[in-house]
Amino acid sequence: MSNNYQPFSGRVAIITGGSRGIGRAIAELFASRGADLVIADYQFDLAKKTASEISEKSGQKVIDVEVDVSNFEMAQEMAKNVIDEFGKIDILVNNAGITRDDLLMRMKESDWDDVININLKGAWNCSKAVLRPMMKKRYGRIVNISSVSGQAGQAGQTNYSASKAGLIGLTKAMAREVASRGIAVNAVAPGFIPTALTNNLPNELKDYILGATPMGRMGTPEEIAFAVAFLASDEASYITGQVLGVDGGMVMM
């Protein structure tokens, strides 16, 4: 695709968890396509470094905001800071997420709470924070990063699977609420993507996942980013409440 392809020119996008992995790949692609960015992350030093590198490479305005998405007040403050800096919010990508894997019988209550609070409540917090300015403009794109684990479930991931399944429900309900205001809400459900979240998976589980993937390979963060960019673009203006699986065929529903 031409380097002159700039579908996000003049748009402002917030990427939560945008400092590394899938989030960084999304941020880099959006910036290369003309978006000004907010890298929102609890790892402030890494967010600052990422924002600087992406801005230098793309020439776009990229700022960093320290935020714990599970904290309602911090999400509200994040949105206020973005409005103060850019005057608007066009796109939100709810990418921030963690894993705390274990079998249910061994899982600690805190591991359940942490995953639900960041992965699911965090997306609710950030969406609530940006909806008012989006509704005022009668334009917005929200893309939630779910997972095949939220579609089919995964042993040892009751917390993660529940949070990602919840994101699908959140996506569909929110899409119904705000569609009349020109806001589209969709989800992307990645399959097995090598990132910091998957590095610690046992080799036997990785082999099982690859064996269950018809394409027989892992995906890449960039492949997820392309799907997110499509759903966040005006090219997808008549798509809302949908879940796009980018999983090599692992989950066919």
DSSP strands (E only) in 6-159: 12-16, 36-41, 62-66, 91-94, 140-145
Phi, psi of 53 (to 5 degrees): -65, -40
Cα separation, 36 vs 32, whole angstroms:
10
Is 208 an active-site residue?
no
Helix (H, G, I), strand (E, B) or coil at 201: coil
> What token pair was written down for 19?
């400092």
Question: ∠ at Cα 43 (15, 209), nearest 5°?
Answer: 70
Catalytic residue among 5, 42, 139, 160: 160
CB of 62 closer than 8 Å to CB of 55: yes
Question: ∠ at Cα 90 (86, 94), nearest 5°?
Answer: 110
Cα separation, 151 vs 149, whole angstroms:
5
CB of 55 closer than 8 Å to CB of 61: yes
Cα separation, 216 vs 247, whole angstroms:
10
Give the residue numbers marked as catalytic. 160
